[in-house]
Amino acid sequence: MSSIQKVVLAYSGGLDTSVIVKWLQETYNCEVVTFTADIGQGEEVEPARAKAQALGVKEIYIDDLREEYVRDFVFPMFRANAIYEGEYLLGTSIARPLISKRLIEIANETGADAIAHGATGKGNDQVRFELGAYALKPGVKVIAPWREWDLTSRDKLMAYCEEHNIPVDFSKGKKKSPYSMDANLLHISYEGGVLEDPWTEAEEEMWRWSVSPEQAPDQPTYIDITYEKGDIVAIDGKAMSPATVLEHLNKVAGANGIGRLDIVENRYVGMKSRGCYETPGGTVMIKAHRAIESITLDREVAHLKDELMPKYAELIYNGYWWSPERKMLQAAIDQSQEFVSGEVRLKLYKGGVHVVGRQSGQSLFDEKVATFEDDAGAYDQKDAEGFIKLNALRMRIAASKGRTLR
């Protein structure tokens, strides 16, 4: 007999997780608590309540986490200018630690023995969910049905639904998107279908959040973004909450053909995977943040941040948001943002994000020193001679010993 009495399931209301509810009830003979997170996926989450009730679920959690998601996860990540493997803005990765956190909170509230998720055994999400859960509740039991059951195809899942009278939105005759998609306020991702051939171009009909650059307006859009300590607080002079900032930027940038990405990435479990991503607002945010940092950060601080960033991004991608090393890096990153305040002006045009202005009361850009005109003695050019000779000393000594480069 199973020792599991109650399980909290991350529940979307879709085919997979609806099957998982019944499978948990039958396999573990346990009570199932469902948790559905609204993190801005662009679809109604409330229908999940009726679906869960139809499956006999008594405790149903549907939480609006949009502000917490952007404020406590997206914004801290963008302070680091985090990009995985030079391109990916980590839209799926950064949502997982929040979901893990809430799963554990609900488990504690309801006295559940375990949590469960619908991530497959091939992907990164299983790692992210479970690393987060163990970091927050070391003794928690994690159930991953895709690693246990034999329902390995959509046909088998549908047959299971028919056998157990599970209400789902799909039928064999109903057209379904050929892509596996994940969406939240930061991005929408696409995998599978024709994308499994890395030589095949993505279909134009696939994209949902952006127009193609070719179809974008012929006139540019200008926006002003205001920062306080590394976070966006206003757009075009209008104060906005974190979630509202991202919602607004997604609309404006998407309308200008910004944010599409097609990459082959290295998953933590070892395989390469081709995915397409739409991150309109995030693409604007990272460009703007680097622009405000360019005038407010000390040179060595900026360079050190750039050296630390790939490790920070890798930690998030691999699921280590709650690790001590990520927290240590975050403390350093957040300290660096103390003076990162001011305004950035951007021009959005046919898929491009162009910085056209930046200003700050904390700016380290000194016009008197940098000018090509008369600087009135602010900078003594003769000082450069000694500076150059000292930096060349080791190379001059090596050359005098015959160690010339070939």
pLDDT at 175: 55
How is the chain split into domains, by residue range? 6-69+83-164, 180-297+339-359, 367-400
The DSSP-derived string for 121-150 is TTSSHHHHHHHHHHHH-TT-EEE-GGGT-S
CB contact at 8 A, 7 and 112: yes
Strand-pair category, 141-143 with 188-191:
unpaired
What ranges make up the beta strands (E) of 321-398? Answer: 342-349, 352-359
Q: Which helix (H) or strand (E) holds 392?
A: helix 383-400
Strand-pair category, 231-235 with 31-38:
unpaired
Q: Provide the β-strand partners of residue 191.
A: 180
Over its length of 406 residues, how does the chain's per-residue pLDDT go in tens digits? 478 999 999 999 888 999 999 999 999 999 999 999 999 998 888 889 999 999 999 999 999 999 999 999 999 999 999 999 999 999 999 999 999 999 999 999 999 999 999 999 999 999 999 999 999 999 999 999 999 999 988 889 999 999 998 877 644 444 567 888 899 999 999 999 999 999 999 999 999 999 999 999 999 999 999 999 999 999 999 999 999 999 999 999 999 999 999 999 999 999 999 999 999 999 999 999 999 999 999 999 999 999 999 999 999 999 999 999 999 999 999 999 999 999 999 999 999 999 999 999 999 999 888 889 988 888 899 999 999 999 999 999 999 998 876 6
The pTM for the full model equals 0.94
- Neighbour-count burial of 176, counting CB atoms closer than 10 A to its CB (0-12 exposed, 13-18 middle, 19+ buried): exposed
Q: Is 161 helix (H, G, I), strand (E, B) or coil?
A: helix
Domain range 180-297+339-359, CATH class: alpha beta
From residue 299, give the alpha-carbon distance in Å to each of 94, 235, 304, 383. 28, 27, 9, 20
Q: Provide the β-strand partners of residue 32.
A: 7
| Encoded tokens for 270 | 């070892």
Output b/e per residue, 309-319; b: 16+ Cβ within 10 A: beebbbbbbbb
Residues carrying an active site annotation: 16, 96, 125, 180
Residue found under tokens 């157990």: 164
- On the CB side of 313, how many CA atoms lie within 13 Å of its CA? 21
Give the CATH H-level superfamily of domain 6-69+83-164: HUPs (3.40.50.620)
pLDDT at 223: 98
pLDDT at 42: 83
Please tell me what DSSP assigns to residue 84. Answer: B
At 252, which amino acid appears? V
Q: Provide the β-strand partners of residue 232.
A: 227
